[in-house]
Amino acid sequence: MRNILGLKCVTCGAIYSTRVPYTCLSCGITDGILDVQFDYNAIAHALTRRTFAARSERSQWRYRELLPIRTGAKLPDLSVGWTPIIPTDRLARHIGLTSLFIKDDGRNPTGSLEDRASSIAAVRCHAKRQKIIACAGNGNAAFSLAGMAASMGLRSVIFVPQCTPEAKLIQLLIFGATVVRVQGSYEDAFQLCQRSCERRGWYNRNSAINPYLVEGKKTVSFEICEQLDWQPPDWVAVPVGNGCTIAAVWKGFREMRQIGLIERTPRILGVIADSIAVGAPRNWRQAVIAVRESGGAMLNVGDNEILDAMSYTGRLSGILAESAAAASVAGLKAAVAQGIVGRRANCLAIVTGSVLKDTQSARHAVKGPFEISPDGAGIDDILTESPSQH
């Protein structure tokens, strides 16, 4: 924490000490997102390419100087980060590119990039000696929190909207979370979670409120730089929900350049779709900043395009992308077709979660299985109809 100078409101620019709980006191919860400010001059002297070459740790904690955790803090037993970057030649050709890498964050412990944020939240909760950590939602953030809390002996309380499917509730319950189903919408669940954290002194993991979660997510960009030998791609595609992930991705690249580890930053392609859109995104300012400062672009793709991307990404690369995660691949395909991204550009798509977390959507993305009798009659017709991998 010695490298943290304070917190800055992204709306009014007010500076606070790290003792301010979550959001700007003037702008409030809706507009008062805070951004952690680091002493980059000091960090630049401590972190060099040679520093990283000497480190054996293969997780997000290898970037501890740029994370909001104290020296010696207890870390989760689950290993988070250092997920693989995979070259995908066949997938690249399919979407019209000569070069495409996939950063597969579905390989994280609970299957999504959200583990990077939840691990930071769990570490900070434990360091503050708070016993309960909470969030609202029924997706990857909630699953991730439940898993990380379990790994650190913390109690998690998850507020879910009434429409939450039973299968998603079971995933949370398996981790031992206390699941509270709110008879209302996601916003109702969010507001109840907020009030509960304030009244009961629980640690708040909601990424739209907690400024420290972006710091965990940004490590995906650190890894991209290091794993590609400090030569970032021309474009990085990121799914956009409430804006926190794309803001974190850009912050990570910006910091790598600011401390002298890379010479240039990639352009950021934000991809929005109806199925992952957030009605009232709280981190929209930082999302817009990420696109503008990087010289990137933001575009929409249809839900059918995402379902197609789930299918051809798996078929042509062997990578299982859930619907929200496949948006980055679908977005790159659309951006190439629209001339936003050049065909010879070196591109990377961040797959933020595994399809195994969202099998219901996956079922809509594929056909089959084929029915056949034990004697095998008709198998030639099936092989003709089934899509080729090549």
Give pLDDT tens digits for 48-65.
999 999 999 999 999 999
User: Which is more confident, 130 or 367?
Assistant: 130
Per-residue pLDDT at 332 exceeds 90: yes
Name the pLDDT band for 240 (thresholds 50, 70, 90): very high
Closest C-alpha to 140, from 166, 181, 109, 103: 109
The number of domains in the chain is 1
State the pLDDT at residue 219.
98
Name the pLDDT band for 139 (thresholds 50, 70, 90): confident
Torsion, Cα 44 45 46 49, to 10 degrees, reads: 70
Per-residue pLDDT at 354 exceeds 60: yes
- Domain boundaries, position 304: 85-111+213-365
Per-residue pLDDT at 200 exceeds 80: yes
Determine, yes or no, domain membership for 79: no
User: Which is more confident, 30 or 102?
Assistant: 102
Torsion, Cα 227 233 235 236, to 10 degrees, reads: 0
Token pair belonging to 246: 């794309």
CA 293-299-303 angle, to 5 degrees, is: 145
Per-residue pLDDT at 370 exceeds 90: no
Per-residue pLDDT at 76 exceeds 60: yes
State the pLDDT at residue 381.
82
Determine, yes or no, domain membership for 243: yes
Determine, yes or no, domain membership for 33: no
Percentage, residues of the chain above pLDDT 90: 77
DSSP state of 206: -
User: Which is more confident, 390 or 228?
Assistant: 228
State the pLDDT at residue 201.
94
Per-residue pLDDT at 276 exceeds 70: no
pTM here is 0.93
Percentage, residues of the chain above pLDDT 70: 93
Per-residue pLDDT at 389 exceeds 80: no
Name the pLDDT band for 293 (thresholds 50, 70, 90): very high
Task: Answer for the pair 18, 7: CB distance below 8 angstroms, yes or no.
Answer: yes
Determine, yes or no, domain membership for 374: no
State the pLDDT at residue 344.
97
CA 56-112-282 angle, to 5 degrees, is: 115
Determine, yes or no, domain membership for 359: yes
Per-residue pLDDT at 281 exceeds 80: no
Determine, yes or no, domain membership for 116: no
Average pLDDT, the chain: 92
Determine, yes or no, domain membership for 276: yes
DSSP state of 239: E
CATH assignment at residue 225: 3.40.50.1100
Q: Which residue has the tokens 């099936």?
A: 382
* Helix 303-317 / helix 323-337 crossing angle, nearest 10 deg: 100
Task: Answer for the pair 91, 312: CB distance below 8 angstroms, yes or no.
Answer: yes
**Residues facing 247 on adjacent strands:** none
Determine, yes or no, domain membership for 313: yes
Q: Name which of 17-31, 153-167, 203-217 the model is least confident about.
A: 17-31
State the pLDDT at residue 378.
81
Name the pLDDT band for 273 (thresholds 50, 70, 90): confident
Per-residue pLDDT at 30 exceeds 90: no
Q: Mean pLDDT throughout 201-205? A: 96
For 159, phi then psi, to 5°, come to -95, 120
